[in-house]
Structure 1
Amino acid sequence: MTLLTTASSRGRGLGPRLRLAVFAALLALAAACVAPFTAGQPAAAADTYSISGTVSGAPSGGFPPIIQVTNTATGISSWAGAQSDGTFTVSSLPPANYTVLATVQGTTSTPTYGGYYGGASADKATPVAVTNADVPGIDIAVTAGVKIAGTVSSATTPAPLANTILHAYRWSGSSYDEVAFSTGWSNYTIGDYQYLPAGQYTVGFTGTWYGTRITNYPYCDQYWNGQPTLAKAGSFTLAAGEKKTGVDATLSTACAPVQRDAGADRFGTSATISAANYSPGVDVAYIANGMNFPDALSGAPVAGSKGGPVLLSQAGALSASVSAELTRLKPKKIVVLGGAGAISAALQTRLATYTTGTVERYAGTDRFDTSATISAKTFAAGVPVAYVANGMNFPDALSGAPAAGAQDGPVLLSQAGALSASVSTELKRLKPQKIVVLGGVGAITSALEAKLAGYTTGSVVRYAGTDRFATSATISAKSFAAGVPVAYIANGMNFPDALSGAPVAGSQGGPVLLTQASALSSSVAAELTRLKPKKIVVLGGTGAVSSALEKSLQAYLGN
């Protein structure tokens, strides 16, 4: 019998521990009360069905199991209590695919047990398809969950801090997924009243609650072992029933919302940018020649869309820093951008040692054809937008790449006055809903802009400014709302640093704004004032963007 249906399992009135404990007690009481009557309950409506089965492995003498059935498409959950013998029925379910979770409430001294139909964790769950009949035999074996405990303090307040939100992240094999959260009322424990399956974990200590920053929360976000980002967080592995203690954090109010990602050279900078933003096990890493820009320009929006880095290389050899970063990343796939003149066949062969999957090459006969190939390998027809930029220079495409990545569209390279045959063919295939021309009429002529109308079901618009800096500001203003989480600043007179930063910017929903080494243009300054980014990242060393300019960027930060 279904006791409660809700679109979210999180309440807002009580603290997480008290709320979960009360909820579990109520469900257990309700289950005990309704169990004698389930045999005689009326049949469900004709268009709804039930899932039933048995829970095994629960410790004796505790709470009865609680069953959560979640519609995989809508996220709506139905809850029911199991009977004393572990059998359960969740009824009134419309046709859909569902995940089924059983939990057995623990205490501060005993673990919470749990398990999904199909496995111990969400990533192992087997969806249950409800079509036009009841589904019996959904049996679940529960195992002991894990616990994580520690203390949150600050340098100025050694006592435990209230109001810090603790986030438990579990490694799914490709990324860290948040599986539980709690509040730091004092010394904290995650897992007393929440089922956490065995596995590899890390913890975040933040002021963000349900996606909203707590008003006047004074501390910087931190992740396990004092790291500023989840990508850099340390981790630990817990076996079933194990409790990890000492996962402490000393928080600081001295945040660094303006930071610099730089290496010893363009290759080292690309490795540094990757290490700051991507966790091991990424789906894909892209390798591009760092001595020229066209291939990486076309690959940057693809990397941003797919959530992988662009790492720069010489044609025949990886730098030590990029080699080390690929070793850390262990990507599931590597994609080489450009032909054998850009990345040699021998280097492509060596790249196989860095991935658990395949090494592929996306290349054409020239830079224009390569941009068409990269697009064709990545984007389906009917994309929301396609960007067209001059392929003989880098600034416009560089600024457009984050916007393209954020909107899941390609950047296609062109000469000023005419499309290549391959790009024309790709635009015909794509049938984009809109085309955006990047740069002024010196980059893409008005005549070509007019011809582009024949390739889209919508409009053709131009994003341009008086120079490369103003164009980057215009592209940002047309693409990103105020209050972006991050804005990236890169030298506009050279391409390598921004090439590596563009995919990250696209995946994080922020622009790349171009500058000279020591001063912002008035247009970029005005755009930063409008954006009020929560964080600013400078790309490259002090030769690319000076320390004085870096310091001045503090004035543009939002709250």
Structure 2
Amino acid sequence: MRSRPRLIVAAVVTALVGTLLTVMPPTGPDGAASAANAANFDPGFLVSDQQFYDGGAMTATEVQAFIDEKHPGCSAGYICLDTYAQRTSTMPADAYCDQLTGRSNETAASIIARVGAACDISQRYLLVLLQKEQSLVTHPSPSAARYEKATGFACPDTAPCDPALGGFYYQVYFAARQFNRYAAHPEQWAHRAGVQNWVWWHPNTACGRSSIFIRNAATAGLYNYTPYRPNQAALNNLYGTGDACSTYGNRNTWRMWTDWFGDPTLTVPSAKRLAGANRYETAAAVSRSVFAPGVPVVYLASGAKFPDGLSAGAAAAHQGGPVLLTSRDSLPQSVRDEIVRLRPRQVVIVGDVQSVSARVEAAVQSLVPGIRTAVTEQEALPTAPSVATTPQPATTPSTTPTDDGLQPTPLPTPMPTDAAPDSVTSPTEPATTEPATTEPATTEPATTEPATTDPALEPTPSPSEQAPEDAQVASAAQPDASTTGVLRLGGANRYATSRLIAEHAFDRAASAFVATGLRFPDALSAGPAAARRDGPVLLVDGTKPSLDAATRATLQRLGVRWVGVVGNTASVTAGMATGIGATGAQVVRYAGSNRYETAAALAAAFGDVDTAYLASGQGFADALAGAAAAGARGAPLLLTGRDCMPSQTRSALIRSMPEQVVVLGGPPTIGTASARYVSCG
């Protein structure tokens, strides 16, 4: 595994030019392209580091589709880039690129995608480079010589190319690798970021040179690769030629990127952090950031157990209210204060008394006028055996500063009655993690969750959840969504609770998402996606070979005609997806190799957005409240690691073009580096 030397360079340049390198750039996967305007050309800032060093910018399929779109057709007797393929050799991992395993007949699109991913250089840039140097993306009759020097690597303007580094594969690989060498050892190269640089206008030194303040590592790399600046004559004729002292390499790089993919220099503001001393205060802070007083509803879920609250986010967003968290036996003061501020017409308590006690329910009733408590499915069951709980010490408010430059929302001073502990956002307690044994294989070893013995995460159902997944209760009352007061929705198990929530919040729903109830990440990321389609999230035991009757009945009662299945077949089986399709609904699966990639797949459906939310992929609590807020704002919910950001998440942020990024939870949950988009590697 290579190191990430460019991040050291970025840190140095950040100290010199402010926060330029700590923000994510917006570009869309479909390319928010626009005709380049020479007035926007900044010789010191040709492309942002975030867009340039983005090895997840395009997949092989996307690269192929792009080439097919741009290519006009191939002349007879020639092999064009859209059909080019060759044998590729294995390139061992080093300090600049991950290992690339050779293939017997690899397409150009696959080479571009895999090299970009291995070296963490944007596939967009590699396509631009191939066009800038040899017009290979659009050329209808490329000669063998064009492939031999495809990227111009080791081909100086004043000497022949190095034949040992010729050929399409080597040209793409060594060019991508070279940019990491520039970033790792800036002192060895003529052009450096963060200082004034002399840059020649032309190989003919009689044309002279000019001084440029190069603002970032990627721009410095471009000048080291092509060491000339376009003069005014070249810029005046942006799509043509200038005068005898004009050069076009860096002009064309900027122009082509702009034309094909949008402005290469666009960035978004640094992330805003919403955090409290514990998960309860964080949820209240999230609520305050989005919801004004007089909301129709507040959903109240356990802050210690994830299953019941997983479906609440989409329901709350649909009804126009937040999700708040509580401990089992006492209502935290921060939550009391937020309920009072919100003045909801109704509070929906999610889960049975084993999750949220009658004592908490009574405390909520004292805050909300017009009390009515509905009979629920769980309350119609025989009394469940008591569940042993671990005594929980009081939480001490955090005095640890958030020294990452992300300012938390000011919070009221915690009262002594807010004694529920928190294992995710409290700086004094370890981060809560999920059992790793239930997670499909991951390609992000740096953020893989460790095993945990935390009983709050319940890898298996609690005693009160031993009823079958499709358990029905004949005397269960269907709650009225328009009723004021306090309502409890508690089913025989997490699956029944999710169905109760769906049928309470939605009279009809054309769309729904289905996710496993055995793990939290997929369902949490699905919440905002479901809200975007104005539908619920239903939990299932995704290991079952077929769809259960109760879930089928809920889908049919709601009139669902489209279902998003979240996670791969290890999360929700193919048989279950087939059963959903048998209801007459169209089925679309959103899946990745791990939870981060699955969340990114869901985020891609949003397209360009104003806001994106980031939550921990290793602890559920902050994201429970975040799902409702994100859903209400039409924003996706992406997952990140504690110490760094998975590449899938980082690329998803770049694709979604957010104007604002909101980090949910304090530095113990999402650390400084992760909140500043530092990629894992």
- Of the three residues 446, 449, 474, the one matched with 2:601 is 474
In the alignment, does 2:639 pair up with 1:514? Answer: yes
C-alpha contact (below 8 Å) 1:309/1:500 kept by paired residues = yes
Query: How has the CA–CA distance of structure 1 residues 391 and 552 changed in structure 2, closer, same or farther, with 3 Å as cutoff?
Result: closer
Q: How big is each residue's C-alpha offset from its partner over 1:120-141, in whole Å with a ceiling of 9 and x where there is no partner?
A: xxxxxxxxxxxxxxxxxxxxxx
Distance in 2 of aligned mates of 1:442 and 1:551:
32
- Which residue number corresponds to residue 403 of structure 1? 529
What letter is aligned with 1:390? T
- Which residue number corresponds to residue 428 of structure 1? 556
- Which residue number corresponds to residue 379 of structure 1? 506
C-alpha contact (below 8 Å) 2:630/2:637 kept by paired residues = yes
Using the TM superposition, give the Cα deviation of residue 421 of structure 1 relative to its aligned residue in structure 2, in angstroms.
Answer: 3.7
Q: How big is each residue's C-alpha offset from its partner over 1:131-172, in whole Å with a ceiling of 9 and x where there is no partner?
A: xxxxxxxxxxxxxxxxxxxxxxxxxxxxxxxxxxxxxxxxxx
- Which residue number corresponds to residue 275 of structure 1? 288
What letter is aligned with 1:326? I
Distance in 2 of aligned mates of 1:256 and 1:352:
41
- Which residue number corresponds to residue 324 of structure 2? 311
What letter is aligned with 1:276? S
Tell me the secondary structure at the aligned position of residue 374 of structure 1: helix
C-alpha contact (below 8 Å) 1:281/1:330 kept by paired residues = yes
Q: What are the within-5 Å matches in structure 2 for residues 291-302 of structure 1?
A: 291-302=304-315
Using the TM superposition, give the Cα deviation of residue 277 of structure 1 relative to its aligned residue in structure 2, in angstroms.
Answer: 1.5
What letter is aligned with 1:444? V
In the alignment, does 2:334 pair up with 1:321? Answer: yes
Tell me the secondary structure at the aligned position of residue 270 of structure 1: helix
Using the TM superposition, give the Cα deviation of residue 302 of structure 1 relative to its aligned residue in structure 2, in angstroms.
Answer: 0.4
Q: How big is each residue's C-alpha offset from its partner over 1:88-134, in whole Å with a ceiling of 9 and x where there is no partner?
A: xxxxxxxxxxxxxxxxxxxxxxxxxxxxxxxxxxxxxxxxxxxxxxx
Distance in 1 of aligned mates of 2:560 and 2:633:
23
C-alpha contact (below 8 Å) 1:280/1:329 kept by paired residues = yes
What letter is aligned with 1:465? G
Using the TM superposition, give the Cα deviation of residue 256 of structure 1 relative to its aligned residue in structure 2, in angstroms.
Answer: 6.2
- Which residue number corresponds to residue 366 of structure 1? 493
In the alignment, does 2:349 pair up with 1:347? Answer: no
Distance in 2 of aligned mates of 1:284 and 1:507:
13
Distance in 1 of aligned mates of 2:565 and 2:294:
35
Distance in 2 of aligned mates of 1:368 and 1:406:
22
Using the TM superposition, give the Cα deviation of residue 419 of structure 1 relative to its aligned residue in structure 2, in angstroms.
Answer: 3.7
Tell me the secondary structure at the aligned position of residue 537 of structure 1: strand
Query: How has the CA–CA distance of structure 1 residues 553 and 284 changed in structure 2, closer, same or farther, with 3 Å as cutoff?
Result: farther
Using the TM superposition, give the Cα deviation of residue 318 of structure 1 relative to its aligned residue in structure 2, in angstroms.
Answer: 1.0
Using the TM superposition, give the Cα deviation of residue 257 of structure 1 relative to its aligned residue in structure 2, in angstroms.
Answer: 5.3
Q: Which runs of 5+ in 2 are unaligned?
A: 1-267, 371-484
Q: How big is each residue's C-alpha offset from its partner over 1:303-330, in whole Å with a ceiling of 9 and x where there is no partner?
A: 1111211100011211121111112212
Using the TM superposition, give the Cα deviation of residue 333 of structure 1 relative to its aligned residue in structure 2, in angstroms.
Answer: 1.1
Distance in 2 of aligned mates of 1:349 and 1:373:
21
What letter is aligned with 2:574? S
Structure with the larger RCO, 1 or 2 (CA within 8 Å, 6+ apart): 2
Identity of aligned residues (%): 38
Q: What are the within-5 Å matches in structure 2 for residues 421-460 of structure 1?
A: 421-456=549-584, 458-460=585-587
C-alpha contact (below 8 Å) 2:547/2:580 kept by paired residues = no
Tell me the secondary structure at the aligned position of residue 455 of structure 1: coil
What letter is aligned with 2:596? F
Q: How big is each residue's C-alpha offset from its partner over 1:180-231, in whole Å with a ceiling of 9 and x where there is no partner?
A: xxxxxxxxxxxxxxxxxxxxxxxxxxxxxxxxxxxxxxxxxxxxxxxxxxxx
In the alignment, does 2:615 pair up with 1:490? Answer: yes
C-alpha contact (below 8 Å) 2:510/2:558 kept by paired residues = no
Distance in 2 of aligned mates of 1:523 and 1:410:
26
Q: What are the within-5 Å matches in structure 2 for residues 164-183 of structure 1?
A: none
Using the TM superposition, give the Cα deviation of residue 353 of structure 1 relative to its aligned residue in structure 2, in angstroms.
Answer: 2.0
Query: How has the CA–CA distance of structure 1 residues 446 and 552 changed in structure 2, closer, same or farther, with 3 Å as cutoff?
Result: closer
Q: How big is each residue's C-alpha offset from its partner over 1:219-255, in whole Å with a ceiling of 9 and x where there is no partner?
A: xxxxxxxxxxxxxxxxxxxxxxxxxxxxxxxxxxxx9
C-alpha contact (below 8 Å) 1:401/1:503 kept by paired residues = yes
What letter is aligned with 1:429? R
Distance in 2 of aligned mates of 1:451 and 1:261:
40
Q: How big is each residue's C-alpha offset from its partner over 1:318-365, in whole Å with a ceiling of 9 and x where there is no partner?
A: 112111111221211111111111111222122112223410111211
Tell me the secondary structure at the aligned position of residue 475 of structure 1: helix
Distance in 2 of aligned mates of 1:403 and 1:453:
20
Query: How has the CA–CA distance of structure 1 residues 359 and 553 changed in structure 2, closer, same or farther, with 3 Å as cutoff?
Result: farther
In the alignment, does 2:651 pair up with 1:526? Answer: yes
Query: How has the CA–CA distance of structure 1 residues 420 and 451 changed in structure 2, closer, same or farther, with 3 Å as cutoff?
Result: closer
Distance in 2 of aligned mates of 1:294 and 1:490:
17
Tell me the secondary structure at the aligned position of residue 600 of structure 2: helix
C-alpha contact (below 8 Å) 2:307/2:517 kept by paired residues = yes
Distance in 1 of aligned mates of 2:594 and 2:678:
21
- Number of equivalenced pairs: 296
In the alignment, does 2:406 pair up with 1:393? Answer: no
- Which residue number corresponds to residue 673 of structure 2? 548
C-alpha contact (below 8 Å) 2:547/2:579 kept by paired residues = no
Distance in 2 of aligned mates of 1:271 and 1:438:
28
Distance in 2 of aligned mates of 1:333 and 1:461:
34
Tell me the secondary structure at the aligned position of residue 354 of structure 1: coil
Distance in 2 of aligned mates of 1:506 and 1:324:
23
C-alpha contact (below 8 Å) 2:269/2:659 kept by paired residues = no
More helix by share: 2
Query: How has the CA–CA distance of structure 1 residues 429 and 535 changed in structure 2, closer, same or farther, with 3 Å as cutoff?
Result: same
What letter is aligned with 2:586? S
Tell me the secondary structure at the aligned position of residue 302 of structure 1: helix
Distance in 2 of aligned mates of 1:476 and 1:552:
17
Distance in 1 of aligned mates of 2:547 and 2:332:
35
Q: CA RMSD in A?
A: 1.7
Query: How has the CA–CA distance of structure 1 residues 510 and 300 changed in structure 2, closer, same or farther, with 3 Å as cutoff?
Result: same
C-alpha contact (below 8 Å) 1:371/1:423 kept by paired residues = no
- Which residue number corresponds to residue 52 of structure 1? none
Using the TM superposition, give the Cα deviation of residue 553 of structure 1 relative to its aligned residue in structure 2, in angstroms.
Answer: 7.7
What letter is aligned with 2:354? G
Q: What is the TM-score with the length of structure 1 in the denominator?
A: 0.51
Larger CA deviation: 484-493 vs 446-455:
446-455
C-alpha contact (below 8 Å) 2:279/2:621 kept by paired residues = yes
More strand by share: 1
Runs of 4+ in structure 1 deviating by more than 4 angstroms, as ranges, are: none
Q: How big is each residue's C-alpha offset from its partner over 1:385-425, in whole Å with a ceiling of 9 and x where there is no partner?
A: 11110011111111100111122101111112244443222
Distance in 1 of aligned mates of 2:527 and 2:613:
12
- Which residue number corresponds to residue 464 of structure 1? 591
Distance in 1 of aligned mates of 2:599 and 2:673:
21
Distance in 1 of aligned mates of 2:586 and 2:294:
39
Tell me the secondary structure at the aligned position of residue 272 of structure 1: helix
